[in-house]
């Protein structure tokens, strides 16, 4: 239960961060650190030439850049199917008032 609450809180915090001009081309992936590593997940994404943008070491996640924006849906679906991955979200800009 605590793990789920922390994951939801981390997703909210990450989603509230400003993004670069590549909006819609970045994905944020959270995973189980006991089952995989950032490097292993990047290796699985080689067919799409993913580039690591940021490694969220404390939150056990990563932000990746998808060079071809048309591949985003396919990459999201692929990582959603991986058992060690908790969530895959498109990077977005949210304004808090």
Predicted local distance difference test score (pLDDT) of residue 18: 43
d(CA 3, CA 14): 16
| Mean pLDDT taken over the chain | 83
Task: Name the band, by pLDDT with cuts 50, 70 and 90, for residue 54.
Answer: very high
Mean pLDDT, residues 50-70: 94
Alpha carbon 41 to chain centroid, angstroms: 10
Angle in degrees, CA 3, 25, 40, rounded to 5: 50
Residue 38: what pLDDT? 96
Q: What percent of the chain has pLDDT over 90?
A: 64
Q: How far apart are CA 10 and CA 21, in angstroms?
A: 23
Q: pLDDT tens digits, residue range 32-41?
A: 999 999 999 9
Q: Which phi and psi angles does 76 have, rounded to 5°? A: -60, -50
- Could you say which DSSP state residue 47 is in? G
- The count of other CB atoms within 10 Å of the CB of residue 59 is 18
Q: Is the pLDDT of residue 19 over 90?
A: no
In this prediction, residue 14 carries a pLDDT of 53
- Pairing state between β 51-56 and 26-31: unpaired
């Amino acid at each position: 239960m605590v793990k789920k609450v922390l994951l939801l809180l981390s997703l909210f915090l990450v989603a509230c961060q400003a993004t670069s001009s590549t909006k819609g081309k970045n994905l944020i992936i959270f995973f189980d650190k006991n089952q995989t590593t950032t490097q292993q997940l990047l290796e699985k994404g080689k067919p799409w030439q993913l580039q690591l943008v940021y490694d969220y070491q404390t939150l056990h996640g990563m932000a990746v850049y998808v060079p071809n924006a048309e591949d985003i849906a396919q990459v999201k679906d692929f990582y959603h199917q991986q058992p060690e991955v908790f969530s895959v979200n498109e990077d977005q800009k949210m304004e808090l008032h």
